[in-house]
Amino acid sequence: MNINDELVLNIEKLSNLGFGIAKIDGFVVFVQGACPGDVIRAKITKLNKNYAYAEIIEITTPSKSRVKPFCPMQKVCGACQIQFIDYDRQLVFKSEMVKDAMRNIAGFDLEIPKTIPAPENICYRHKIQYPVSQTKVSKRILAGYYKPQSHEIVNIKYCPIQPPICDKIIEFVREKAPLYNISGYDETTHSGDLKHVVLRVSEYSGNVLVTLVFNSSQKFHRYEKFAYAIYDEFEKVSGVCLNFNSKQTNVILSNKSECICGDNFVEEKVLDKIFKIGSNTFFQVNPKSAENIFSYVKNEIGKFELPSVLDAYAGIAAFGIVVSNAAGAVVSVEENKDSIKMAEEALEINNIKNVELHAQDTAKYLSSVKRKFDITILDPPRKGCSQLSLELSLKHTKKEIIYVSCNPATLARDLKYLCQKGCTLKSIQPFDMFCHTYHVETVAVLAV
């Protein structure tokens, strides 16, 4: 096999990154845009010792699971990698991804239940982060998602997976920014003004928090004027913030923000609880699907008689607050101080008295206390938990660990460690949080 060789491939399954997988005499070939069940003619584009990448030349026999994408930009935009697959089949494939991770990484041969669908799989994405640039000659502002495997921005004017008001706000930014002498960012020269536009839309109220990320360490009058222009133009924009991030980094938001007009948060409702969400505080992008997960976790906690609960990697203490009326006492631990401040306000809004907050790293907190909890909820970032956090969680938990993960690979790694230390995996359930992408959210319950 060589670069540019053309092959006929039968696509068997999806990889954890959404590539179609074919095998030739056991040799794996990854194909972007391929659907399990497709028979394709493809050209080898990259060749490694143990695997290759190929691009589709022709789909000779389409899979029965293949559908026409409802977004005309699907092929060029990197946001919805598997929108060309029937939604019900997406759920099956996501369960298979979790199963493969459990088998290949943890050595668990498990039957994984079908992924629980999102209540809405269009207009579901309530946090939008668009990079901004501009054309070299006409200086036209561009804003959208990156093309797959590139940093070339696709200028998105209509995106069906987010609320329609997002398209209107982004179009206003594109059209009006030059009038305020605001340029788009050029990452190759690290020049220009506006790097990103971040929108947080409330499913509950429909209000929008707009954050403009500038390639600057200070505020300029033209930035403020532009913020007020956005605020005045849209009734549903409840606040506009400026974020100052002059570093050459993949991190979108720095820790330096200023609210210019309106509020620096939107309110969101999950089950019967109200939360304040800022631009730099973590909250799930799909509130309706998040409700499914919160209900699942709360039901598990409800199987015990008012247990004590540790809510680790708590963010704005969403899990701790939602499960508070099924628990005797909750301790929520989160190292981001802005998130803890939002959590404090949520406790007051919801009149909750049995949740204790700690602005601290999970491992540091557990290293400093002797108390034990009936149940520990772990909801770490994609990289998963550190081994120390897992070890301490085990030490401080009496009955169950509930592990909420957005990455099957790190989940499998951490579950393997916990089971080697004596835990028993009771259940595992995938949820579709990021519809039409290869991402999957999973909740695992372990007996200690």
Specify the pLDDT at position 338: 86
Same domain, 197 and 293: no
Q: Give the CATH number of the domain where residue 57 resides.
A: 2.40.50.140
Please report whether residue 28 resides in a domain.
yes
Same domain, 290 and 388: yes
Specify the pLDDT at position 304: 97
Same domain, 237 and 294: no
Please report whether residue 77 resides in a domain.
no
Please report whether residue 73 resides in a domain.
no
Active site residue 35: no
Specify the pLDDT at position 217: 95
Q: Give the CATH number of the domain where residue 224 resides.
A: 2.40.50.1070
Same domain, 196 and 261: yes
Same domain, 165 and 253: yes
Please report whether residue 74 resides in a domain.
no
Q: Say what the alpha-carbon torsion angle 156, 18, 431, 63 is, to the nearest 10 degrees.
A: 100
Same domain, 265 and 331: no
Other Cβ atoms less than 10 A from the Cβ of 47: the count is 15
Please report whether residue 81 resides in a domain.
no
Burial of 399 (0-12, 13-18, 19+ CB in 10 A): middle
Please report whether residue 250 resides in a domain.
yes
Q: Name every residue whose Cβ is closer than 8 Å to that of residue 251 and which is 6 or more positions away in sequence.
A: 245
Q: Give the CATH number of the domain where residue 376 resides.
A: 3.40.50.150
Q: Catalytic residue among 80, 166, 241, 406, which?
A: 406
Same domain, 108 and 144: no
Domain count, the chain: 3
Residues of the chain with pLDDT under 50: none
Domain containing 18: what range?
Answer: 1-66
Specify the pLDDT at position 254: 95
Specify the pLDDT at position 187: 92
Same domain, 109 and 142: no
Same domain, 174 and 295: no
Same domain, 314 and 391: yes
Specify the pLDDT at position 213: 98
Please report whether residue 89 resides in a domain.
no
Specify the pLDDT at position 148: 82
Same domain, 111 and 131: no
Same domain, 213 and 303: no
Please report whether residue 201 resides in a domain.
yes
